[in-house]
Amino acid sequence: MNPWDPITYTVTPAAKILARCVTSGTMTQEELDALPQDSEVFSTSLLEAEQLNRIGHDLDQANLDLELLKLERDSADVTHTHYLSQRYASLQQFTSHLQEVLREHTVLRERLTKPLCQQNLPIHADLHRYVVELMGMVVEFIQNLEVKIKMVQAIPKTGHYWSNLNGAITQLLAQVTEVENLYRQVLKRRGHPSTNIKDMSS
């Protein structure tokens, strides 16, 4: 029986396959119309088309498997049993440490509140007078500490102060010279001989 005979079936199996090939884009309607109406030729073309469809399906499945493998690799640290067991062991160790701390919290609190050394320092009797002198020096040093700090801080500014002093002396000498000139002019107008201010002051 010829499968291409339209009398046996309303829609023949060959027509279904050809329609699926045209729909998937494996063949075009023009290529299908250009083929001779020979059962052997159609069978070979359909076999090749079916093989191409199968290869495409296998390729899609391989791509899907590859994507799944990549996803499994990226999420291995949260889904893989090996990594989860390591994290679980670390968590167990941490919780055990916390339990030990909670059980020993009283002892730990006493150790933290206990002073590291004694409150008094034993000193030999023959060294007491030196300690008294040392304490006096310490008290004096503390009392004069602020003054000494200010003196040390003022040392870098000594040059600046000296420059200001020289400038003030120069200005003072200039003013003395100006006053002396004015005094001479006044004496000259009054008809008195000029006298130096330094001589008058002496």
Model pLDDT for residues 60-106, shown as the tens digit of each residue: 999 999 998 888 877 766 666 777 788 888 888 888 888 888 888 77
Question: Does 107 lie in the same domain as 48?
Answer: no
Predicted TM-score of the model (pTM): 0.25
Whether residue 107 is contained in a domain is answered as yes
Q: Which of 194, 199, 167, 193 is nearest to 181 (CA)?
A: 194
Whether residue 7 is contained in a domain is answered as no
Question: Does 47 lie in the same domain as 17?
Answer: yes
The percent of residues in the chain predicted with pLDDT above 90, rounded, is: 4
Question: Does 66 lie in the same domain as 23?
Answer: yes
Domain span at residue 90?
A: 80-112
Whether residue 119 is contained in a domain is answered as no
Q: Print the SS3 string covering 31-71.
A: HHHHCCCCHHHHHHHHHHHHHHHHHHHHHHHHHHHHHHHHH
Question: Does 140 lie in the same domain as 188?
Answer: yes
DSSP letters along 64-120, please? HHHHHHHHHHHTHHHH-HHHHHHHHHHHHHHHHHHHHHHHTHHHHHHHHHS-SS-SS
Question: Does 105 lie in the same domain as 55?
Answer: no
Question: Does 191 lie in the same domain as 149?
Answer: yes
Answer whether 187's CB lies under 8 Å from 193's CB.
Answer: yes
Whether residue 22 is contained in a domain is answered as yes
Question: Does 180 lie in the same domain as 132?
Answer: yes
